C-alpha cells in the first residue's frame, strides 16, 4: 500500500496542480518554496513534498541550477505523452465497454463540462470524463499507467487551449464517444477515442513540413 500523503501536503499539492493546469502558473514559471509556503500558510516541508510529487507526475522540473519550475510544453513532449495515450486509452475503453462497465461517471463529467462557466472547471470535467472511460477497464495496472500521464496530458491541453480554444469541437467528439460506448459498440467507441486524441495533438502541435527549416 502506498504511504498516505499528509493532509497539509495534499492541500498544497492540489492547489499547485490546479494553478498549473488552469494556467495561473504557466510553463517555465519558477516555484519558490518560501513564497508558496507563505501563500498557503504552511511550513516549507509540505511545499517541498508536494513539489517532489508533482515532479514525479511530470508537471514540474527539479533543476540543480534553476530550482523548481513548471514544465515547459513543446511539440516533442506533447507527442510523447499523446503517443502513450493513443497506445493505451482506446484499448482501455474497448475493454470497459466489452465488460459492460457502467459509465455513469463519464456521463456526469460530460454534463459538468457542458455546464462549466470557466476554463478551469471545464478542464477538470474533461479530465474526469477521460478517466471515467478508461478506469473501469478491468486492469488496474492499465488504469494506473494512464493516470501516470494524466497530469502531463492536461498540461499539454491547457497550453493548447490557451493558444486556440477548441472546446466545442472536443465536446461534440466526447458526446459521440460516449454514445458509442453506451450503445455497446466497443470497437466504434475505441476508434472514435483514438481519432479524438490523435486529431487534438495534430491540430495543436502539427508536424513540420519537410521543406521547413531548409536554407
Cell of 7: 493532509
Q: How many CA atoms lie within 13 A of 130 on its CB side?
A: 27
What gap in Å lies between CA 178 and CA 170, rounded to an integer? 12
Calculate the CA 20 to chain-centre distance: 11
Residues in the chain: 215
CB 68 within 8 A of CB 142: no
Enumerate the domain spans of the chain: 7-70, 75-204
Q: Which CATH class is domain 75-204?
A: mainly alpha
- 203 vs 200: CA distance, rounded Å: 5
In this structure, whether the domain defined by 7-70 belongs to CATH 1.10.10.10 is answered with: yes
pLDDT at 3 over 70: no
The residue written with cell numbers 517555465 in the block is: 28
Residue 30 per-residue DSSP state: B
Taking only the tens place, the pLDDT of each residue in 41-71 is 999 999 999 999 999 989 999 988 889 999 9
Summarize pLDDT for 85-132 with one digit per residue, the tens: 999 999 999 999 999 999 999 999 999 988 887 777 787 888 899 999
Total-model pTM? 0.83
Amino acid at each position: 500500500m502506498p504511504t498516505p500523503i499528509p493532509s497539509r501536503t495534499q492541500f498544497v499539492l492540489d492547489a499547485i496542480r490546479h494553478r498549473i493546469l488552469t494556467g495561473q502558473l504557466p510553463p517555465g514559471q519558477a516555484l519558490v518554496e518560501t513564497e508558496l509556503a507563505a501563500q498557503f500558510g504552511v511550513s516549507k516541508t509540505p511545499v517541498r513534498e508536494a513539489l517532489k510529487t508533482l515532479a514525479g507526475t511530470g508537471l514540474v522540473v527539479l533543476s540543480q541550477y534553476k530550482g523548481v519550475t513548471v514544465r515547459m510544453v513543446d511539440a516533442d513532449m506533447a507527442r510523447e505523452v499523446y503517443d502513450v495515450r493513443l497506445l493505451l486509452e482506446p484499448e482501455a475503453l474497448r475493454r470497459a465497454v466489452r465488460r459492460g462497465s457502467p459509465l455513469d461517471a463519464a456521463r456526469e463529467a460530460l454534463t459538468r463540462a457542458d455546464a462549466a462557466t470557466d476554463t478551469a472547471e471545464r478542464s477538470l470535467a474533461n479530465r474526469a470524463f477521460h478517466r471515467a472511460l478508461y478506469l473501469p477497464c478491468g486492469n488496474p495496472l492499465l488504469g494506473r499507467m494512464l493516470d501516470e500521464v494524466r497530469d502531463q496530458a492536461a498540461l499539454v491541453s491547457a497550453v493548447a487551449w490557451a493558444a486556440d480554444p477548441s472546446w466545442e469541437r472536443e465536446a461534440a467528439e466526447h458526446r459521440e464517444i460516449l454514445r458509442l460506448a453506451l450503445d455497446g459498440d466497443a470497437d466504434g467507441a475505441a476508434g472514435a477515442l483514438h481519432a479524438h486524441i490523435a486529431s487534438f495533438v495534430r491540430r495543436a502541435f502539427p508536424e513540420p513540413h519537410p521543406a521547413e527549416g531548409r536554407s
